Chain A
């Protein structure tokens, strides 16, 4: 579900939605979601000063309430 949420948001923001990849793993009780995108799209999921990334994190954190800790990494 959290993975799907990140996928949905990221795909709507980029030029190459088919190249968006999201993985989910459990590290020390924290759900770690890693998002990767086409190299021309990385900026579109991070934004100036990470503004877009922060917004994605805010929505993800809200959606993960009662589901434990969550972290979002963006691979470059």
Chain B
């Protein structure tokens, strides 16, 4: 963490000087008043304000450093590309030969990495910063795959007039399936079982209670 000491006639002036020096905005720093300014008499006995200004760690930077460090430990030549995803959001895309390793079964490893990175990023920040970690567009591909799966199994439920149970999925993935089939004319969806075995069941309309 970077700390500098600045002076000025008033606290505001000292703060402005410090922000200039650090090239930072007011939200990025904390300060402590070391000496309270005194007006004095005809500039005699006057005291300037002295502040110690600390630059808060930048959460996106912290998160990226953390992720880079973790990938370095895993040591299979993975790379990170960061992109700006908008206000209070950041996105890191991981790529490399052994990309499957950071995705894991049903994206479990990727979820874990994303969870840990979000914890690190939000340790020092008061506003919640959301970090999305992706691996060679896995998330988008997975979403498309889930949509197709949902439609295919909905057809099956309709054709056979029987319930179709899916394999366990994370809440976010179940939501995607519910949404995909929300306006389907022939089937309904619900979730069954307890985490981490909670899964979707697709039923032909009018059969929920069987």
Contact = CB atoms under 8 A, between A and B. Distances in A.
Interface of A: 1, 4-5, 8-9, 12-13, 51-52, 54-56, 58-59, 61-63, 65
Given A13-B116, A13-B123, A55-B112, A62 B70 contact: no
A1 B116 CA distance: 19
Per DSSP, chain A at the interface is helix
B70 A8 contact: yes
Given A13-B116, A58-B108, A63-B101, A5 B74 contact: yes
Given A58-B109, A65-B101, A5 B116 contact: no
Contacts of A4: 73
Contacts of B123: 13
Nearest to B98: A65
Given A52-B115, A56-B116, A62-B102, 9 more contacts: A4-B73, A5-B70, A5-B73, A12-B120, A58-B111, A59-B70, A59-B112, A59-B113, A61-B109
Contacts of B116: 9, 12-13, 52, 55-56, 59
B167 interface: no
B69 interface: yes
B24 interface: no
B73 A58 contact: no
B97 interface: no
Given A8-B69, A13-B116, A52-B119, A58 B104 contact: yes
B47 to A, nearest CB: 36
